[in-house]
Structure 1
Amino acid sequence: MTDTVAPGLTAEQLAFVAQAQKDARKAFRVLRETRTISPSGTLGFTIRNPDSQILVNLNYAGPWGDDLDEVKTSVVGFDGTVYLGKSAGPGGGRYTKLFRTHDDVVAISHVHTPNLGAYSQAHAELPLLYVPNRRFRKTASLPVYINRRQQEVDFILDSIAKDTEVPGIIEANGGATVWSRKGIIDLANTILFLEEGAHFQILAAAALGGSKPFGPGVLQQQWRMGGLIPSTATVDDDGTIHLAAAE
């Protein structure tokens, strides 16, 4: 791999890279200190520059570096041009097709966490039975990507086509891939809550017979709180939404 500092990045784009590095550094620290990521530290973010077809890749150095919050950075164009850092190699354009297809997807992360990893080992979809994971979305579960003859990005695109609000997938025998329409901090927070929910659900399964479906009124309460429905709308317990007559 070749170190590259290619011409072509504007001052605004370099400022965007610097802010992305700052956000990634904070996310790495929080996810490590909350034990959200697994000890080996598989974690990386890719964020798009909003004004160009440029992707900033920000990878966690892992547990053995002198600086545990080091952000390994590369900047790569949709066309594969390397503007900054090391050549990204075969994984550098892993999610370019997603960014090309969905302009609203801002950032994506591939991450290994203990409890999402447990679901991945079981080839199990993750039901979103932890209330905070449903507050801002109607998605009921994360699908599991098993057949690696299909490219991961194509499975992600198929998953979004089925459910536009799905925030991620479980990667069988690996970890998870999660995305955001806001940015790195929002993405890291989503990872944290998905891992927390998976942890609680595994604890419930081991000790109490498993997580139960939501009780009456939970979806109505949470979707009102999250702004997914008007405050006057009602929701059946199966997720059917009823708008007030005037709406």
Structure 2
Amino acid sequence: MSQPAPLSEALLHQVEQTKRDTAKIFKVLKDTRTLTATNTFQAHVRVPGSDLLIVVATPGPWDDDQSIRAVVASYDGVVHLDEYLAPGQPLSASRQGGGGRRYAATFRGAPQVNVVIHVHTPYLGGYAAAHRVFPLNYAAAQRVTLARELPVYIDRRQPEAEFILDVLTANPHTPAVLEANGGATFFGPALLQSAEWILLFEEGAYFQALGENLGGVRPFGEGVLEQQWRMTGLWEQGRTLVAPVR
């Protein structure tokens, strides 16, 4: 079987930048206890103008090598780079093709999505375990998105990548879904932005879980959505989503 063509300098540069960004994300999410103990975080990053993805994952707590390694694979699972292989091993020995296939349908069907991240965090994971839609009732999280909730992916007979497309069709502003009995999957235009939102949304889930034990979480008061969306330039779009006061 023929080997994939050598990677371009531009792609190799993107690989290195993705690894640097992921190392920063790993430190922030770990230091803030946003990640669970298993350090589950896997990002799939689109390579512009191609059917290739850069796939990176954070090392587990038992891994001796705590460095960030990358895989480049096509939507069809053809591996072009595998930094997990031992020196001298051929690409044909790679078992990392699934990283290219996992969210291929999302990348094919949603050109606005440049990154998909699967992550396990404690309180979003709690909502996922309860099969509960996560309503955005934390102002700092609501500020960055016009979505009002995160839906739950429950029926795994439908691939998650296709479920994400259905969610985006229903509401193109949705930035993530909860994976029932698992973690959460975020998607958007940029790796660092989605990672920042993981921290924000997990913080919101934490506060809302506390609120459930203090009489229940309340919806936003009058004017909160306008205030928050004006701070991020979303108000002109968002004003049509706010029910008029009667």
TM-score, L = length of structure 1: 0.88
Alpha-carbon distance, 1:163 to partner? 0.4
Q: Following TM superposition, by how much is the alpha carbon of 1:91 offset from its aligned partner in structure 2, in angstroms?
A: 4.7
For 2:208, the equivalent position in structure 1 comes to 201
1:225 aligned to 2:231? yes
Letter in 2 for 1:227: G
Q: Distance in 1 between matches of 2:180 and 2:110?
A: 24
2:197 matched to 1:190? yes
Q: CA contact under 8 A between 1:6 and 1:84: conserved in structure 2?
A: no
Identity across matched positions, percent: 42
1: CA distance, partners of 2:98 / 2:8: 26
> Whole-Å Cα distance in 2 between the matches of residues 46 and 169 of structure 1?
16
Match of 1:244 in 2: none
Question: Which of the numbers 112, 128, 132 marks the counterpart of 2:136?
Answer: 128
Deviation at 1:6, TM superposition (A): 4.1
- Across the two proteins, how many residue pairs are aligned to each other? 232
1:161/1:19 Cα in 2 relative to 1: closer, same or farther (>3 Å)?
same
Q: Tell me, what secondary structure is at the counterpart of 1:98? A: helix
RMSD over aligned CA atoms reads: 2.0
User: What code does the residue aligned with 2:198 have?
Assistant: I
SS at match of 2:72: strand
Establish whether residue 178 from structure 1 lines up as the match of residue 186 from structure 2. Answer: yes
Distance 1:90 1:49, change over 3 A: closer
- State the 1:222 CA deviation: 1.1
**1:149 offset after TM fit, Å?**
1.1
- One-letter amino acid of the counterpart of residue 72, structure 2: V
Cα displacement (A) at 1:51: 3.2
Could you tell me how far apart the structure 2 residues matched to 1:90 and 1:106 are?
Answer: 18
Cα separation, 1, equivalents of 2:114 and 2:176 = 13
1:1-247 equivalences under 5 Å are 6-68=4-66, 70-85=67-82, 86-181=94-189, 183-206=190-213, 208-230=214-236, 235=239, 239-240=242-243
1:212, CA displacement in angstroms?
Answer: 0.7
State the alpha-carbon separation in 1 of the partners of residues 74 and 156 from structure 2. 26
Deviation, 1:90, is: 3.6
Consecutive unaligned residues of structure 1, counting only runs of 5 or more, are 242-247
Letter in 1 for 2:31: E
More displaced 10-residue stretch of structure 1: 16-25 or 73-82: 73-82
Between the aligned partners of 1:129 and 1:42, the Cα distance in structure 2 is: 26
The 10-residue stretch of structure 1 (23-32 or 71-80) with the greater mean CA deviation from structure 2: 71-80
Decide whether the 8 Å contact of 2:76 with 2:100 is kept in 1: no
Give the deviation of 1:218 after TM superposition. 0.5
Gaps of 5+ in 2: 83-93
1:76-111 residue CA offsets vs partner (Å, 9 max, x unmatched): 122322110043244541101111111110111111
Q: Against the structure 1 CA distance between its residues 235 and 78, is the aligned structure 2 distance closer, same or farther, given a 3 Å change threshold?
A: closer
Matched residue SS, 1:117: helix
Q: Distance in 2 between matches of 1:119 and 1:57?
A: 26
